[in-house]
C-alpha cells in the first residue's frame, strides 16, 4: 500500500470518527441536560428535527475534515465519506424501521439518507473554496 492510499484511508477514518464522536457526544449532552428524554423514551418531532440539524452540520464537517486531510482530490474524499454516511443511514433506517416510537418517525431516517450526499458535497466544496482562495490570494 502506498503512502497516499494510507493518507486517504486516514482522512476518511478521521472524518468518519469526527461525525460519530460529535453526533454521539451531542446526543449524550442533550439527554443528560434533559433536552432529550431518557434513552428509550419517545421524542417529539421537534427534537428529531434538532437531531437532524446537528447531524447535517456534523456530516458536512466530517466531509470537510476528510477533504482537508486528503493527500489529493479533496472533493473525491468528501464524497467518499458521503457514500459511507449514506450507507450507514440506509442501514440505520432498515434496522429501526417500524421498531416503535423510541426510534422516531419515518421521516427522520429518510431525512438522514437524503442529506448524506449534499452534506458531503458541502464539506468538499468548502475545502475547494479554501484551496482556490489560497491560490488566488
Instruction: Answer with the residue of higher pLDDT: 104 or 9.
Output: 9
Q: Is 7 exposed, middle or buried (0-12, 13-18, 19+ CB in 10 A)?
A: middle
pLDDT category of residue 135 using cuts at 50, 70 and 90: confident
For 30-66, the pLDDT digits (tens) are 999 999 999 888 899 999 999 999 999 999 999 999 9
Q: Which whole number is the average pLDDT over 10-34?
A: 97
Please report the pLDDT score of residue 100 as a whole number: 83
For 79-122, the pLDDT digits (tens) are 999 999 999 999 999 999 998 887 889 999 999 999 999 999 99
Q: Name which of 133, 137, 20, 120 is nearest 70 in CA terms.
A: 120
Please report the pLDDT score of residue 50 as a whole number: 97
Side-chain-facing half-sphere of 57: CA atoms under 13 Å: 8
Q: Name which of 80, 90, 83, 78 is nearest 126 in CA terms.
A: 78
Residue 137 has pLDDT above 70, yes or no: no
Please report the pLDDT score of residue 102 as a whole number: 79
Q: In the numeric block, which cell numbers belong to residue 5?
A: 492510499
Amino acid at each position: 500500500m502506498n503512502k497516499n492510499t494510507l493518507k486517504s484511508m486516514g482522512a476518511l477514518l478521521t472524518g468518519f470518527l469526527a461525525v460519530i464522536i460529535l453526533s454521539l457526544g451531542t446526543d449524550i449532552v442533550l439527554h443528560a441536560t434533559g433536552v432529550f428524554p431518557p434513552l428509550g423514551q419517545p421524542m417529539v418531532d421537534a427534537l428529531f428535527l434538532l437531531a437532524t440539524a446537528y447531524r447535517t452540520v456534523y456530516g458536512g464537517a466530517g466531509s470537510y475534515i476528510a477533504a482537508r486531510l486528503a493527500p489529493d482530490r479533496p472533493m473525491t474524499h468528501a464524497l467518499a465519506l458521503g457514500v459511507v454516511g449514506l450507507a450507514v443511514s440506509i442501514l440505520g433506517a432498515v434496522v429501526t424501521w417500524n421498531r416503535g416510537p423510541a426510534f422516531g418517525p419515518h421521516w427522520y431516517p429518510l431525512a438522514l439518507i437524503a442529506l448524506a450526499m449534499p452534506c458531503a458535497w458541502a464539506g468538499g466544496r468548502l475545502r475547494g473554496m479554501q484551496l482556490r482562495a489560497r491560490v488566488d490570494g
